[in-house]
A = this chain, B = another copy of it.
Amino acid sequence: MKKPYSKTDLPVWQIRKYLEPGPIVLVSSSWKGKTNIMTMGWHTVMEFSPSLIGCFITSGNHSYKMIEKSGECVINIPTVDMIDTIIGIGNTTGQQIDKFKKFKLTPEESQTVHAPGIKECYANFECRVVDKHLLPKYNFFILEVLKAQAPLRPRYPKTVHYRGEGVFMVSGRHIAFPEKFLPQNL
């Protein structure tokens, strides 16, 4: 097993650093004593303060019901070493199996929601559903991030970004040009 990350609290607006680049995330949920995990690629940051995320979840999905009913979830960022787990979670349904057990993942108690985070993931963002109006037409949840945790090192995790058809892009090198930006645009 890989060495556990030593995570610290982030200001919730800083989640853009991890989510705006578009990684595949694992969404954990809890409802009536059961937990579940799903793989998600269709999400976006929507606001800094409050810290909002918008995301699409197919309504036939077991996690859809759990998140809709509990009004909560945790967004966890997995890294490329977890690729088999990422694909396996997408291939299975929580109606039949306990995904934490099946994929040997460690549920980590959250502080603001009942849904557990996934210890093996790089970052954990505890979220509350704040707007369900787009569910009937678009299956689109609007979430507020209540608490965010990530390690200080590694600074930029190797994440995977899905293209469909079984192909993932792995995050590459970083380039920084803060001096070229107007301060208000950083």
Q: Which residue numbers of A lie inside 8 Å of B, CB to CB?
A: 14, 16-18, 20-23, 41-47, 52, 54-56, 80, 83-84, 87, 90-91, 134, 138, 140, 142, 156, 160-182, 185-186
Contact = CB atoms under 8 A, between A and B. Distances in A.
Contacts of A16: 163-164
Given A44-B54, A168-B174, A175-B167, A181 B87 contact: yes
Given A54-B138, A90-B182, A167-B176, 19 more contacts: A17-B163, A17-B165, A20-B41, A20-B42, A20-B161, A20-B162, A22-B22, A44-B44, A44-B56, A45-B56, A52-B138, A83-B175, A84-B180, A91-B180, A166-B180, A166-B181, A168-B174, A169-B171, A170-B172
A20 B21 CA distance: 10
A52 B23 CA distance: 19
10 contacts: A20-B161, A21-B163, A22-B161, A41-B45, A44-B56, A83-B175, A156-B169, A160-B175, A169-B171, A170-B173
A44 B52 contact: no
Nearest to A178: B166
